[in-house]
Structures are given as structure tokens and as C-alpha cells.
Chains A and B, each alone.
Chain A
Amino acid sequence: MKEGWKELPIGAIIKEAGSSIKFETGDWRTRKPVLNKEKCINCLFCWVFCPDSSIIVENGEMKGFLYSHCKGCGICAEECPVKAIEMVKEEV
């Protein structure tokens, strides 16, 4: 339930930093990126180019995609120098 006018902080401020993580954009996707770990060289170009911070990296290693936010734009697949990312049709 959205807040009423008496409950909202004044000045239309948002009190919580980084709240956009709660806005899930994964369902905008019609195609999704799939990683071929065999080919991946962990150059992290995908991480640099992803406009939605949806590349999961741990200890300098590409681990996969944050599907709750990935919009399926395909920029990662396009930029991957070793073609380790494939865009596949989202299953209904």
C-alpha cells in the first residue's frame, strides 16, 4: 500500500539510499543473456558496459546475470570479445 500524505517525509525526499534496487526491471525482458563459462575470459567488458548494473562479479570473476534487473538489451553479448554471452528467447 502506498503511503498517504500524512506519512510521507516532507519535501518529496526519498530517505533511503539505493532504493532503485527495489524496482525490478527484469520483466521488461523478451530475450535473456546466457553465459558460456568455458569461453569467458573475465575481461569484465560486460560489467563495464551493462547499463543496469546487472553483471554479477565476485573476486574479479564474471559469475552471471542479475536477472531481476537485466532488461535484456544485449549490449553485453554485443561487447563480449570472445562471444561468451548468447541472447536467448525468454520462455513464457
Chain B
Amino acid sequence: MKIKALTANEAMAEAMRQINPDVVAAYPITPATEIVQHFASFVADGLVTTEFVPVESEHSAMSACIGAAAAGARVMTSTASQGLALMHEVLYIAAALRLPIVICEINRALSAPINIHCDHSDTFGARDSGWIQIYSEDSQEAYDSVIQAVKIAEEAFLPVMVTADGFILSHAMQRIEVLEDEEVKEFLGEPKTPYTVLDTDNPITVGPLDLQDYFFEHKRQEAEAMRLAPPIIEKVGKEFGERFGRYYGLVDPYRLEDAEVAVVVMGSTAGTAKEVVDKLREEGKPAGLLRMRVLRPLPLKEIVENLRDKKVIGVMDRAEGMSGFGGPLYTEIRSGLYDVPSHPPLYNYIYGLGGRDIKPEEIEEIFKELFDAAAGKEIPLVNYKGVRE
């Protein structure tokens, strides 16, 4: 193990170097550009044996990844925001063909207005594409999760995107514990592929036309794979922890057990919010936090277990779902708690769109409003934090 000062971009690129995928097809985009740039230099310097395909768009990047993965290769790419949006139609194909591709995704707002900074609209847009989604609290987790993602993808035969917050993590240097190359190699083992088109003795067809008679069954199969993914993600997170000391699960509960008021949050804001929880605890206020590490598959059981007995819950959304009723994480958590008899009231806080900074004081205000609600005060269900009224 080495201790290095790395940004999330550098850390994810380093993980890719250690994974040494067979094929990387990528098109650089802010704020994920450096991932592709660093990886390209690893290729140029002969540090990896990867076939690097510098394509002309993200649509082509994912298409090339699909071709390579169908041939049996271990495949990775990286993108952000508009890049992920341009990949959109091909994302569904990767998932439905059950190809274990991994994306290092940097969260960035979607245009318009044009903006390069962090929010989660890009990956929320890909929420229903059939990809497993893992969100990182910090760059260490981004690094660790990229390595785990390869293993998860190859056990579930589903593609995985690991995300880190644009600029906040992608361009911020922090202390990272980097594993030895050999440790990564041993942890991952040989690539496992669902099938290969290159086995000429056993020829197969990939991507056939599938109409009213078969399409539904294939989708049912894909849905089952997603339904069965949680224990795989947990097992890989546990195995990673046993080997390297950092354990990961589907969710990350923080001081939640005896909490009366909890916020649900994703990405780097969780770290800031944990500081706020500590401060409130010192003041004797029973605050807690649930960080959603995995959004797809939705960890329904964990949502219920961790939140069912809370007095009041606040869901922090770094995206606007444009549903007319709050952000996308809010509706997910709300739906998750529907079956709990006398479920706690849930309030939504949309924040940080387009990289708007979220300060500890603002999170404290959110908690204050939630504690007020717990004491019987009426507050709006959907709130915007940090927007100019």
C-alpha cells in the first residue's frame, strides 16, 4: 500500500491502470477529461497492455466497449454529463446484452444553461438504463469502488458506473491509500465474461431482433439480474474490506441507530453532512444520516431498516427530477418507505445544482427545519436550499 496525494480523476485513472483492462474506448469530457488523459499516457508509456480506442464521440465509445465486451474482453471507459447523455441509447444495449462494462463517471450538470460543475442529473438520467450505479463520498471511495465495480460487473453480468462529484472530488487532491498492483490483480482474478463472439467453434448471435414473442422474457431476465445484484455488491464490498481494511455496503448509515431526525444524501455532500451530524450530536440533538452508496439496484431493504423508525426524514437531492414533485432521490426514498405502516414524514431538499456550494451551515439549517417539523411545525414537502428566491 502506498499513500499518495491524488484527485478523484487521478485515483480512478490509477485504478484503471492497475486493472489493466483489455480495451478502453473513451472520449474525454470535462470534468472527466483527466481520467482519459492519464490513462492515454499510461498506454503511451507502456504501463498497461490495454487496446486504447480514441473514438470520435461517447456514443461510439460505448458502442466500441460493447463490441469489445461481447468479444470477451474486460472493458472500461470514462465520461461525464453530456457524454453520458450522448451514450444514452447505447447504455441500454450494454445492460441488456449483459456485458460487464465499467464506467468511471464524473457527475456534472446537464445543459442548458451550459455548466461544467457538479450535480447528479447526468447519472439520474441513466438511472433506468439497467446499469448498477455506485456513488462516491470521496476520492478514496471512488478508487476503491472502481476496483470493486469490475468484480461486481463480472459476477452480476451487468455493467456498472462508479461516480464521483465533478470538481469537488474530480479535481480536489486528497490523501489516498493506493493498493499494490499485485493486490488489485489478485483481488480481481481473470476476467469473467458471459459469452464471446470470438469462439468460432461455438458461434453465437449477439443482439438479435426480439419482438413480441421474446423481448418481454429477456427484459424479465435482466430485471432479475438487477434484483439479485445487492448481495453481490455486498459480498464484493466485504471481501474488499477483509483484504484491504475498507468495508463497503449498499448504504452508509452514520449515527443513525438512535437518531430521531435523519437526512438521506449521496456523494461528497455526505462527508460535509457527517461533520454537521457530529456537531448536532455534541449539542445533544439526535441527528443521523443515511448515505446512498448504491442507487441501482435500489437498496429497498436497507432504506426500510435504517429509516423506518425515524421521526422525520429529509432527503437531499443534487438533481431536479422535473416531476413537479421534488427530486428523484426523494421520490425513490418515499416510495421505499411506502410499505412501512405509519411511515415517517419525508421532506425534500434540492440543493447544489450546477455546482452551487453547499455549506455546513446550510445543512445545519436543513436539520433545524426537520427538528422543527418533528416538533409539530408545518414545513413544505419540497424545498430548495441555496437558491436565490
Contacts and interface: CB of A to CB of B under 8 A. Distances in A.
Contacts of B113: 12
A6 B389 CA distance: 7
Contacts of B388: 2-5
Contact of B112 (A2, A6, A12): A12
A6 B387 CA distance: 11
Nearest to B389: A4
Nearest to A12: B113
Interface in A1-40: 2-6, 12
11 contacts: A2-B388, A3-B388, A4-B387, A4-B388, A4-B389, A5-B387, A5-B388, A5-B389, A6-B389, A12-B112, A12-B113
Interface string B169-201: 000000000000000000000000000000000
B338 to A, nearest CB: 31
Interface of B: 112-113, 387-389
Interface residues of A, number: 6
A70 B80 CA distance: 35
A5 B388 CA distance: 6
Contacts of A5: 387-389
A22 B387 CA distance: 24
A54 B112 CA distance: 31
Contacts of A4: 387-389
A12 B109 CA distance: 15
Contacts of A2: 388
A2 B387 CA distance: 11
Contacts of B112: 12
Contacts of A6: 389
A4 B387 CA distance: 8
A12 to B, nearest CB: 4
Nearest to A1: B388
A17 B389 CA distance: 26
A62 to B, nearest CB: 37
A5 B112 CA distance: 15
Given A4-B389, A5-B388, A5-B389, 8 more contacts: A2-B388, A3-B388, A4-B387, A4-B388, A5-B387, A6-B389, A12-B112, A12-B113
